[in-house]
Amino acid sequence: MKPRIHYTKPSITELEVRYATDAAANGWGEHCYDYINRFEEAFKVHLGVKFAIATSSCTGALHIGMAALGIGPDDEVIMADTNWIASAAPITYLGATPVFVDILPDSWCLDPELVEQAITPRTKAIVAVHLYGNLCDMDKLLAIGEKYGIPVIEDAAEAIGSIYHGKRAGSMGKFGAFSFHGTKTLTTGEGGIFVTNDPELYEHVLTLSNHGRARGQTKQFWPDMIGFKYKMSNIQAAIGCAQMERIEDLISSKRRVFSYYAEAMCDFPLKMNPEPTGMQNGYWMPSIVIDNNVAFDRENLLSNFKVDNIDGRVFFWPLSMLPMFDTIPENIVSFSLYTRAINLPSYHDLNELDMDRVVAHIQHHLNK
């Protein structure tokens, strides 16, 4: 059997191993936050934001951020229908309702016009998910948020390396959240981070993230409110510190993989992740969407991948298709896109011969 082509895996070097080993051996007692503090500082500098709190997941970062905004029962939060459940789950944790609107056919992200149409007196936030590294139209979304007094939250879990007119994804909204899962461009194994430029929101989230114990509280083990436990471990942060030292190379390698695919398939009847003028796409997950007028059997292509020991991923289902939500077939782009789309293997050191294997399967499938 040919060597396996993984759909994604992290880039781990001796540097990550050395830092993690040091954290495991020495990162205890008074040093138990050393790598966490260092990682948060490095990420703030990279992103260009004032505050950051490392968390155990992006889901946790979204949860504590939404809680600090006061989102609760009977509230509504608008987000795109095409997404992973992790973007919607924290809304439900707080007793609020996710309101799913359709996506744009080119960016696969929130349609701003539909966002504005979906606003009601119960709307308490808009979640802008930068899907697969593609960027939401933040100018329009932020303008809508300002017009109605509604905060825009950036779920930048998949958008390390993406830049919107000079501003990094995750740095523009009321707060941003990132994922460092093992599949992401930058990893800490599991993990995430909350970021913001709002000092009051930061202090509130910092308190919530530490079981409700405020930073200025002098009484030992005295929580000021009910909080959460979403801390990142020092060992995870140590891996993150090494990754931050390599961040530009990690982003560049993702863009290299995408560029090779894009060049190899430039004449195929499909579209890939866009990169509009003035933006940079981090290309976390290179994806293809087959043109409407071309016959395409997603499951057949993925089965052929599997026979050749190639990993492939389905495009996200519309969340409103899931059994825990009400179906919204009116979201016609979301309900048509996933049947014609897949994610391609894209780990950092994927070589050209392996990418040629992937492309050959796509070409054969489209030429049948």
Question: Which of 281, 275, 272, 266 lies closest to 343, judged by CA?
Answer: 272
Handedness of CA 160, 163, 168, 169 (dihedral sign): negative
The span from the first CA to the last CA of the chain, in angstroms, equals 24
The 3-class SS string of 6-30 reads: CCCCCCCCHHHHHHHHHHHHHCCHH
Grouping H, G, I as helix, E, B as strand and the rest as coil, residue 276 is: coil
Residues in the chain: 368
Grouping H, G, I as helix, E, B as strand and the rest as coil, residue 46 is: helix
Grouping H, G, I as helix, E, B as strand and the rest as coil, residue 5 is: strand
- Contact between 332 and 281 under an 8 Å Cβ cutoff? The reply is no
Quick one: tokens of 114?
């539909």
Q: List the catalytic residues.
A: 184
How big, in percent rounded to 5, are the helix, strand and coil portions of the chain? 40, 20, 40
- Contact between 225 and 207 under an 8 Å Cβ cutoff? The reply is yes
In the chain, how many H helices and how many E strands?
12, 14
